[in-house]
Amino acid sequence: HLGFATLEAGLTQSKNTVNILFKNVWIISIGLLTYALLGFNTHYPGAWQIENWIGIGGPIGDLSADGGDTWCYGGLGLAMAAYGDFIFQAMFAATAATIVSGAVAERIKLSSFMIYSAILVAFGYTIAGSWHWGGGWLSQLGGGDAAFYDFAGSTVVHGFGGAAALAAVMILGPRKGKYAKDGKIKPILGHSMPLAAVGVFLLFFGWFGFNGGSVLSANPGPLGLVFTTTALAAAAGAVASIFTSMIVLKKPDLSMAL
């Protein structure tokens, strides 16, 4: 979340820095509280109101009860207790709204975003997440090529966040001053590329936690594979963007590389 905050602040206009930072403080704060109040038990429904589609639950309660603080929680292969699982998943929940924050930067009123993001994290993300991680309809799709797979939230977090962001920007429209009267694009440059670069490297580092933690164990074999894949994917994305910008823009572009 520190990475998101600094990246978004660096790539927007200086006059909006406080707004951007405030939104990121709000997201992590409201995200944790709503995930404790109803998100966790909606994400993993104890009961469904609409079978395999909606199962809104209540507060987390005592997660250490009934073996939640022992290996009984998932065995040595899981290597995680219940409260550890809660805080890990709560970060994912808040991230779903952070994806939207970057997309709607400089387009939305603060009060509107606060309401939207609270609803998104409390209900939208947790209900959609329950379809897969909570034993809902996505998890029950057939095996083989017909089965649904998600590692580290590639769909449940990022697909959901991307869809929510797309819906938001379609309603909000472009940033004020983005287009001239003749329809030509007017670049709105970020005010601090060093800040944006710091944000990207923080995110790069943080993704080892998201992806590595998604192994759900301390087994060094799968962890090494995920760490290596994560590092190579980031490097390949950077190189692809650098060469694409050199071809399209006729010069290297730092923001595209980031």
State the Cα–Cα distance between residues 108 and 9, nearest whole angstrom. Answer: 15
- The structure's pTM equals 0.87
- CB 94, CB 1: distance < 8 Å: yes
State the Cα–Cα distance between residues 5 and 206, nearest whole angstrom. Answer: 13
Q: What are the residue ranges in the chain where pLDDT is below 50?
A: none
* Predicted local confidence at residue 111, as pLDDT: 95
* Predicted local confidence at residue 147, as pLDDT: 84
Cα-flanking dihedrals φ and ψ of residue 171, to 5°? -80, -40
State the Cα–Cα distance between residues 231 and 69, nearest whole angstrom. Answer: 32
* Predicted local confidence at residue 64, as pLDDT: 80
- CB 195, CB 6: distance < 8 Å: yes
* Predicted local confidence at residue 76, as pLDDT: 64
Q: How far is CA 162 from the centre of its chain?
A: 9
Number of CB atoms found within 10 A of residue 90's CB: 22
